[in-house]
Structure 1
Amino acid sequence: MSTTWFADWFDSAYYHLLYNNRNEAEAQEFMRNLLAHLNLDKGSRLLDLACGKGRHSIYLHSQGYEVLGVDLAPESIAAANEQAQQGLSFAVHDMRAPLNMGQFDAVLNLFTSFGYFESEEEHLQTLKEVRNMLPKEGFFVMDFMNAHKVIQNLVLAEEKQVEDVLFHLRRYVENGYIVKDIRFEAEGQNFNFQERVRGFLLADLQALFAQAGLEILDQFGNYQLDPFSEESSNRLILIAKAC
């Protein structure tokens, strides 16, 4: 399987620098609301798919769950593994491929960690692999951007100073993908990265989920789990079960 922009960018220290202001309190509030909604038994086995450095995995484990976090970026997994302990583990894994580590009571794909691939087939294959890891009635949670609102409110150009690095950001839509060009100078070198995320709308994801054998149960629009509105919601959170 080919890897493109995300293989290098997500494994870069500058990726973590650019996004170093992520709201941990908000992330934990989302996890609390989500766990209350799913009502999973303590000790349930959870997969954090595209876990990054493991912030959600670590919190979920603290709430009494057995958690495996996987991510394509070796540096992120190395950082996450510093927190590994009984019932909390991490591994390098490409979500398009079979994991072959048994089934999980729930699979979580959080913080817009989907839509990176070049073809519809790769996105569908990812969801089919999720379905293969779930028992019948097992849960899949996808926390995605509300692409409709993102596109309607796209900030075309922006500069962002983070510590001693000035990031130059340019955003546009191209062939169904929301693209962000990232340029900056650091340590005497010029860097250029690009993010490309497929702007999946609710109807697109509904079709993909159905093809993969995942039945959508709920659609939420924020981390407080309020109803989804295409015009006003910041997030598109889907809760599905294996069928």
Structure 2
Amino acid sequence: MNQSNATPLLLRTRGMAAEIAARLRVMIDEGEMPPGARIDEKEMCAAFDVSKTPLREALKVLVSEGRVTHRQYNGYRVAAIDLDDLASTFEMLHGLETMAGELVQQRVSGTQLAAIGAKHRRMAECHNAGKRLEYFRLNQQIHQMIVDAAANPVLSTIYATLMSKVHRARGAANTDMLRWSESMEEHEAILAALDDPTHADLPQILRAHSENTAREVLAVLNRTRTDTAPARDAGMMPEVSGEPEEVAGSNQR
């Protein structure tokens, strides 16, 4: 057996699969592919200009991560979001935001304040230009920067882990957010509290912003799930790669 010829092909396939998985991961996490969306293999192969082999390898990785589900005869779908788990995660984040604000009062440095302010100004520019996706990414970075300024590595690690759990939900809701301007105003209040030498109102402002975000994200996802349920129940979703649809109601959001 001539392994010297087979190995490079295998490595190229795995390399392509990793790249496809990374690109799909971003599309899912940032809401371009919403929860419950059917993944059409033919369309994806055409979009990435690849065969089905690396695409399916990539999808297997995303299945193992919980971002994608697969059922025989029903194909691949973006995984639903567990709203009960999401609500519980947000509750934890509210407390962490408050704790971070309290610690920042005592520990934040001038250099950190300047970096957060610069990032905030970039985010405001994206808001004014209607660049929602870039705004969303900068928003996430600012929150982590504030938590990191609390100078508690355990807090930073736990916060980052929980934020990764809600990132996809926030991305899914981000395409339908009605309170974008309100969120921007809340970030202005956060920056003003940071600029205050005492930072006295920061813990309360951070918590209120976290609670408002959670309320909107959960409302949008609940509304989306309700609005799309009749189409699924009626079997109106299109087929994937020519495979027949399963009984209506399976794998729903």
Same fold (TM over 0.5): no
Q: Counting helix residues as a fraction of each chain, which structure ranks higher?
A: 2
Shorter-chain TM-score: which interval?
under 0.3
The two structures have a TM-score, normalised by structure 1, of 0.22
The two structures have a TM-score, normalised by structure 2, of 0.22
Q: Bigger radius of gyration, 1 or 2?
A: 2
Q: Counting strand residues as a fraction of each chain, which structure ranks higher?
A: 1
